[in-house]
């Protein structure tokens, strides 16, 4: 694992540790020497575990938005290089579009469409917002198709192609920043109110299973590494470069 993600704490490892601790606490509870202070500790611990696990599914989706925001920054850099007429390594663009297709559109958005939106749109106040979000998912897929088609053309350095590519990328960024921000601030918080604790736990397991099915073990970490490789290739990995000198 690279330095960029070595600090990342695997959700599966976290769940394993939690399960082991809960099992240990359950054994303690059943023992004859389990007194009041231990019972209180046990109750607090169960409460902690319940609350911690209860945020897992939405935390997952928000973390995936973190990937999306990094991909949007990569797109922004690519668009500005295209607009400046700079020669761009074609793989930077096609790899970014491919990550967006595989991770954002075919995985993250499918999770939202399959598990989150159907519940959220039952809340009358959220119905219109979900409708817009669904339309934007399709618009994003259309843009990714168009960007990929243009990027794969034989003469990617053609000025007309570059201009059109920069335009499509700009439209993509412009739509997805507010899109993800609405999900983070309205849809995901509301989701807590429309599912039971059991459904929430099940959703976490379904998200996990789908992530493993599509990206293998430690799929999220692998995607983070691919994003970091693109950032390094474009010269925008170093976070200090974004700190203003004021
Ligand atoms: Fe979405
Ligand atoms: Fe999203």
Task: Flag whether 103 is in a domain.
Answer: yes
Same domain membership, residue 9 and residue 113: no
pLDDT band for position 89 (cuts 50, 70, 90):
confident
Question: Which structural domain range is residue 38 located in?
Answer: 1-53
Q: Are residues 49 and 134 in the same domain?
A: no
Give the domain-ending residue among 11, 34, 53.
53
Q: Are residues 61 and 173 in the same domain?
A: yes
Based on the fold, state whether residues 170 and 115 are members of the same structural domain.
yes
- Supply the pLDDT for residue 167: 95
Same domain, 45 and 156: no
Give the pLDDT score at 233: 95
In the chain, the number of structural domains is: 2
Q: Is residue 30 located within the same domain as residue 81?
A: no
Q: How far is CA 88 from CA 136, 155, 157, 168, 200, in A?
A: 28, 12, 8, 16, 44
Question: How far, in Å, from the CA of 182 to the mean position of ligand 1?
Answer: 9
Query: Percent of the chain at pLDDT above 90?
Result: 55
CB 58 within 8 A of CB 115: no
5 sits in which H/E element: none
- Copy the structure tokens of residue 30: 């059943």
Segment among 30-44, 102-116, 132-146, 198-212 with least mean pLDDT: 30-44
Same domain, 155 and 226: yes
Of 43 and 180, more confident = 180
In a domain, residue 245? The reply is: no
pLDDT at 162 exceeding the cut of 90:
no
Output the CA 195–ligand 1 centroid distance in Å: 19
Note the pLDDT of residue 85: 80
Question: What is the chain's mean pLDDT, rounded?
Answer: 83
CATH code of the domain containing 168:
1.20.120.520
pLDDT at 197: 83
Looking at the structure, do residues 143 and 211 belong to the same domain, yes or no? yes
Q: Helix, strand, coil % (nearest 5) of the chain? A: 80, 0, 20
Single residue among 53, 69, 97 that ends a domain in this structure = 53
What is the rounded CA–CA span in Å between residue 9 and residue 2?
A: 13
Output DSSP code: residue 237.
-
**CA pseudo-torsion sign 169, 173, 179, 184:** positive
- Cβ proximity of 121 and 133 under 8 Å: no
The end-to-end CA distance of the chain, in Å, is 36
- Judge whether residue 24 has pLDDT over 70: no
| Residues 115-132 pLDDT 10s | 999 999 999 999 999 999
Residue pLDDT, tens place only, 39-76: 666 666 655 655 555 447 888 999 999 999 999 999 99
Closest listed residue to residue 182, CA positions, set 223, 137, 139, 220:
137
65 C-alpha to ligand 2 centroid (Å): 6
**Of the bound ligands, which one is closest to the alpha carbon of residue 140?**
1
Q: Give 179 Cα–ligand 2 centroid separation in angstroms.
A: 7
The encoded tokens of residue 230 equal 């693109």
User: How many angstroms is it from 110 CA to the middle of ligand 2?
Assistant: 9
């Amino acid at each position: 694992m690279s330095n960029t993600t070595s600090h990342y704490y695997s959700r599966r490892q976290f769940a394993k540790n939690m399960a082991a601790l809960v099992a240990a606490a359950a054994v303690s509870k059943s023992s004859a020497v389990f007194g009041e202070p231990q019972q209180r500790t046990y109750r607090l611990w169960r409460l902690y575990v319940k609350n911690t696990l209860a945020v897992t599914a939405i935390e997952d989706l928000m973390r995936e938005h973190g990937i999306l925001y990094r991909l949007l920054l990569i797109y922004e850099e690519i668009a500005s290089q295209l607009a400046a007429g700079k020669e761009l390594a074609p793989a930077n663009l096609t790899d970014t579009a491919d990550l967006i297709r595989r991770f954002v559109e075919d995985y993250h958005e499918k999770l939202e469409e399959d598990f989150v939106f159907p519940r959220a749109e039952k809340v009358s106040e959220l119905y219109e917002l979900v409708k817009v979000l669904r339309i934007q998912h399709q618009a994003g897929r259309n843009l990714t198709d168009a960007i990929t088609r243009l990027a794969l053309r034989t003469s990617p350095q053609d000025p007309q192609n570059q201009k059109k590519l920069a335009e499509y990328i700009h439209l993509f960024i412009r739509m997805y920043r507010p899109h993800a921000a609405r999900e983070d601030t309205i849809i995901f918080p509301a989701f807590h109110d429309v599912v039971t604790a059991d459904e929430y736990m099940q959703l976490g397991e379904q998200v996990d299973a789908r992530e493993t099915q599509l990206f293998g073990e430690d799929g999220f970490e692998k995607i983070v590494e691919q994003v970091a490789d693109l950032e390094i290739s474009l010269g925008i990995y170093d976070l200090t470069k974004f700190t203003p000198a004021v």
